[in-house]
Amino acid sequence: MLRSTTPTPDSTSVSTGTRPLALMVTAAMLAWLALPPGAALAADATLAAADPQRVSAKQIKKCAKCHLEEGVTDDPEIPHLAGQRASYLYKQLQDYAADRRDGGRMNKTASKLSAQEMADLSALFASKSLPAQAGVSVLPAPAQVTAAGEKGCAGCHGEDGRGKHDKYDAPALAGMPIPYFKMVMEAFRDGERQNDADGVMREAAKGLGDADIESLAAYYLSLGQRKAMPY
C-alpha cells in the first residue's frame, strides 16, 4: 500500500493506535470534491464502513516495508501516514490505483486493494499519532502560510497544519519530512502532479521559488515538532 514495518507476531489484525476511532470515522465520511457525485457518495459509504480491525498482519507488513508499522517513516523521501486524514489517504490510494497519481510501486500495490481494504488501511493509519520530538521550536510562519483565503496554506490545511475539510479536503502537513514535502510541492508547481481538486495546489504552488518551498518545508516540519532526517 503506501509504504509501511513489521507485522504484529501471529496476529491477523492490528490495533487502531492512540487516536479515537470516532475522529477517524468523522474524517472518513467527508465528501470527495475531486470525484464525480456518484463516486463521491460511494467513497463516503465505504469510508463510513471502515474498520481498522480488518487490516491483516500481511497488509501491515506490506505497508511497513516503506512507511514502518506505525506509519512513522524513517526515510525522508517517504511520507508519514500516522495522523494523516483518512479521507485524504483513501483518495490517494484510489488515485494510485487509477493511475491519476504516479507513485511508482504504489500504483501496482494500490491496484490490488479493494475499495474497502483501502478504507480500512486509511482508517488504521489515521487513527495513529505522529509523535512530537523533544527540542524542536516552531519556526516563524512564512508569508504564504498566513495569506488570505485559499492562497494561504493555513486556509486549507489549518493553522495547526493538521489538515481540514472545508471547500477542499486538505491533508496534514505538520511534521512531514522536508525532502518529501519539497518533492510534492515541486511536482505541483511544475505540473507533474495533477490529482488536486480544481487544480488548487497547482495554482498555489506555481509562483513559488525553490527557496519558498524550502522555507515552507522547514516550517511545517517544525510545526509538527519533528526533526529533520537523518536523526
Phi, psi angles (nearest 5°) of residue 68: 70, 160
Q: Is residue 200 part of a domain?
A: yes
Q: Is residue 3 part of a domain?
A: no
Q: Is residue 10 part of a domain?
A: no
Q: Does residue 22 sit in helix, strand or coil?
A: helix
Q: Is residue 4 part of a domain?
A: no
Total residue count of the chain as it appears in this document: 231
Number of H helices, E strands in the chain: 11, 2
Q: Does residue 165 sit in helix, strand or coil?
A: strand
Tens place of pLDDT for every residue, the chain, 231 residues? 544 333 333 333 444 444 444 434 333 333 334 455 556 667 789 999 999 999 999 999 999 999 999 999 999 999 999 999 999 999 999 999 999 999 999 999 999 999 999 999 999 999 999 999 999 999 999 999 999 877 799 999 999 999 988 888 899 999 999 999 999 999 999 999 999 999 999 999 999 999 999 999 999 999 999 999 986
* Contacts (Cβ under 8 Å, ≥6 apart) of 143: none
CATH number of the domain to which 175 belongs:
1.10.760.10
Contact 139, 219 (CB under 8 A): yes
Based on the structure, what is the number of domains in the chain? 2
Q: Is residue 94 part of a domain?
A: yes
> Looking at the structure, do residues 102 and 167 belong to the same domain, yes or no?
no
Q: Is residue 103 part of a domain?
A: yes
Number of other residues whose CB lies within 10 A of the CB of residue 127: 26
> Looking at the structure, do residues 165 and 80 belong to the same domain, yes or no?
no
CA torsion sign, 227 to 228 to 229 to 231? negative
Q: What is the pTM of this model?
A: 0.82
- Domain end marker among 74, 96, 126: 126
Structural domain containing residue 167: 143-223
Q: Which grid coordinates are listed for 182?
A: 519539497
- Domain end marker among 126, 160, 183: 126
